[in-house]
Amino acid sequence: MTEYHVAAVDLGATSGRVMRAVVGLDRLDLVEVARFPNGPVKRAGGLHWDIDALRGHIIAGLRAALAEDPLITSIGIDSWAVDYALMAGDRMLGTPFHYRDDRTARGVAAVHAVVPPDELYAASGLQHLPFNTVFQLAAEGDALAAAERFLLIPDLVAYWLTGRSVAEATNASTTGLLDPRTGEWNDALIARVGLPRRIFPELVRPGDDRGPLTPAMAADLAAPEGVRVTAVGSHDTASAVVGVPMTRPDAAYISCGTWGLVGLELEHPVITDASREANFTNEGGVDGRVRFLHNVMGLWLLSETIRSWEAESGPFDLGRLLVDAAAVSSPVPLFDANDERFLPPGDMPGRIAAVLVEQGDAVPATPAAMARCILESLAVAFADAVRDAARLANREVGVIHLVGGGALNSLLCQLVADRSGMPVLAGPVEATALGNVLVQARALGLGGSLKQLRALVAEVYPPQRYKPRG
């Protein structure tokens, strides 16, 4: 039986990893080779990504993966959405901004001055988030004059490896500048917003060949001859949805990490006044599917809270905190996990407390009670988003798949089951990397539909079931 050896670069907003995998008709072995931190850094001019450190980690991880498995023939890259580098020739014009930088506010104002929110939604099908790429590009001002193109983060990594500048469509769909009906750049919208058309690269789709490693990169990685880069669902959620072991047509998904992406996989976009008012987005998926979903703030709320506590009093044991939070028996207050005041980094416990006081609620007195408050609020937001997705898409939903790092949080999984009244199937944790390597293997010759790929995930990584209580 033919088996395919591939590597995945999987970049999240708080950490990245390089994985290697062997994929066959009944085999799906995934091994973590390298894991490294990722996050914002404050520099002159705002909040940025430490892109040089990220590049170093990626190159070191790929070098290690190829050393461990010389049979690797393909590399796939996925990452978080919306952020980019402006390029002139082979150099970046500055360091990529982090989406939490507050410059985006002026971009929102500039875009909405020429394209009202309802018209922007009708053209893009995209949920309003103040950091969408369209707003970031509008905030660039004179910097665009020198730019020849922009490359979203996974496209930038692929450029480092191959020297080819293209944009993968699933991540391009998060920019707000792609037509969700045609899957092509929306030239009319680009012109109306006042952006230069020249900076928009050629589009490629999941499964397309991005090209071979450059000779210099192949030498740097000590790669065997013939290693190529394959386009995958380069938006990490697009890859994660491929890795969701959905075996029922009435399934919803939650890809839960720093963000919680909650929604359905559809054949066609849902672009209505009701979906706009509910702030639902239509993003591109693998095989031309639509990820109809809502972004919820996610475990950022808890991780940023813990970071604030640790800055004050030293390390926190997350496992112990979650055990204590599960033991909290008194009711805790709830807050809106979608409140944009929670978007920036900083004093998360203080901001949550301020919102609770504003509502007339008592602030939890212990870390365990605050953690329970956060997780209960997230569970409510997740359950509401599932119900909204079903209503807006006119679909029945009977089960929720929760993948990503949140699948390790048994308290959160149980709370989502309780709040939704539906069973929650948790796992796999590495759904994004699995989706990445499966699309690569299929492009190399494995074949199979999304249904068949997901059946393989379900067989090799059976999810844990949480039943709703009461």
Active site residue 236: yes
Fold assignment, 246-427:
Nucleotidyltransferase; domain 5 (3.30.420)
Question: What dotted CATH number matches 4-236?
Answer: 3.30.420.40
**Cβ-proximal residues to 290 (8 Å cutoff; 6+ apart), any chain:** 180, 265, 266, 267, 268, 269, 270, 282, 283, 284
State the number of CA atoms in the 13 A half-sphere of 130 facing the CB.
Answer: 16
Which two tokens mark 213?
């490693």
Phi, psi for 222 (deg, rounded to 5): 55, 45
> What is the dihedral sign for C-alpha 327, 333, 334, 340?
negative
Q: Could you give the CA distance from residue 272 to residue 118 in angstroms, rounded to a whole number?
A: 10
Q: Could you give the CA distance from residue 355 to residue 386 in angstroms, rounded to a whole number?
A: 24
Per-domain residue ranges of the chain: 4-236, 246-427
Cβ proximity of 378 and 260 under 8 Å: yes
Strand ranges across the sheet with 27-37: 27-37, 15-24, 4-11, 74-78, 228-230, 209-212
**Alpha-carbon distances, residue 156 vs 79, 129, 235 (angstroms):** 11, 23, 13
Nearest Cα residue to 92 out of 171, 174, 172, 153: 153
3-state SS, residue 11: strand
Q: Could you give the CA distance from residue 84 to residue 237 in angstroms, rounded to a whole number?
A: 17
State the number of CA atoms in the 13 A half-sphere of 52 facing the CB.
Answer: 5
Tally of CB atoms within 10 A around 285: 25
3-state SS, residue 290: strand
Nearest Cα residue to 388 out of 249, 279, 273: 279
Look up the pTM and report it: 0.94
| DSSP E strand boundaries for 173-289 | 202-204, 209-212, 228-230, 251-256, 260-266, 281-284
Q: Angle, to 10 degrees, between the axis of helix 431-441 and the axis of helix 450-460?
A: 130
Q: Could you give the CA distance from residue 437 to residue 440 in angstroms, rounded to a whole number?
A: 5
246-427: same fold as 4-236?
yes
The dihedral formed by the CA atoms of 164, 143, 237 and 182, expressed in degrees to the nearest 10: -70
**Among residues 10, 83, 155, 236, which one is catalytic?**
236
Which two tokens mark 263?
């929604």
Q: Could you give the CA distance from residue 86 to residue 92 in angstroms, rounded to a whole number?
A: 6
Mean pLDDT, consecutive 10-residue segments, the chain of 470 residues?
93 95 97 95 92 97 98 98 97 95 93 98 95 97 94 98 98 97 97 97 98 98 96 97 96 96 97 97 97 95 96 92 97 96 93 98 98 98 98 98 97 98 98 98 96 97 95
Q: Which residues pair with 282 in a beta bridge?
A: 292
Q: Could you give the CA distance from residue 255 to residue 385 in angstroms, rounded to a whole number?
A: 13
CA 448 vs. chain centroid, Å, equals: 24
